[in-house]
Amino acid sequence: MSATKGRILVVEDEREMRALLEKGLARRGFIPTVRGRADEAFPLLETEDFDTVLTDLRMPGMDGLALCERIVLNRPDIPVVVLTAFGTLETAVAAIRAGAYDFVTKPVDVDALVLVLERAVQHRALREEVRRLRQALGDASADGGWVGESPALRRVYELIERVADSDTSVLITGESGTGKEVAARALHARSRRHAGPFVAINCAAMPEQLLESELFGHARGAFTDAKAARTGLFIKANGGTLFLDEVGEMPLSLQPKLLRALQERTVRPVGGDSELPFDARIVAATNRDLELAVEEGRFREDLYYRLNVIGLELPPLRARGNDVLLLAQRFVEHFAGRSGKRVLGLSPAAAQRLLTYTWPGNVRELQNCIERAVALTSYEQLTVEDLPERIRDYRGSNRAQADDVSELVSLEEMERRYIQRVLEAVGGSRTLASRILGVDRKTIYRKLGRRNAGPEDKDDKA
pLDDT at 131: 65
Q: What is the pLDDT of residue 173?
A: 95
Element (H, E) at 250: none
Give the pLDDT of residue 454. Answer: 39
- Total residue count of the chain as it appears in this document: 462
- The 3-state secondary structure of 15-70 reads HHHHHHHHHHHHHCCEEEEEECCHHHHCCHHHHCCCCEEEEECCCCCCCHHHHHHH
Burial class (CB in 10 A: 0-12, 13-18, 19+), 237: buried
Taking CA atoms, 366 is separated from 127, 153, 158, 187, 324, in Å, by 19, 17, 25, 24, 8
Give the pLDDT of residue 256: 96
In tens digits, the chain (462 residues) has pLDDT values of: 446 788 999 999 899 899 999 999 999 999 999 999 998 999 998 888 899 999 998 888 888 888 988 898 888 889 999 888 755 667 767 777 778 888 888 888 888 899 999 989 988 887 776 666 555 444 443 333 567 788 888 889 889 989 988 899 999 999 999 999 999 999 999 899 999 999 999 999 888 888 998 999 888 766 667 678 888 999 999 999 999 999 999 999 999 999 999 999 999 998 888 899 999 999 999 999 999 999 999 999 999 999 999 999 999 999 998 889 889 988 998 899 888 899 988 888 898 899 999 999 999 999 999 999 999 999 989 999 999 999 998 876 543 333 344 445 567 777 777 788 778 777 777 777 777 777 777 777 777 764 343 344 444 433
For residue 413, the surrounding DSSP H or E stretch is helix 411-425
Q: What is the DSSP letter of 270?
A: B
Cβ contact 60:13 at 8 Å: yes
Give the list of residues 6+ apart from residue 357 with CB closer than 8 angstroms, or none. Answer: 390, 391, 394
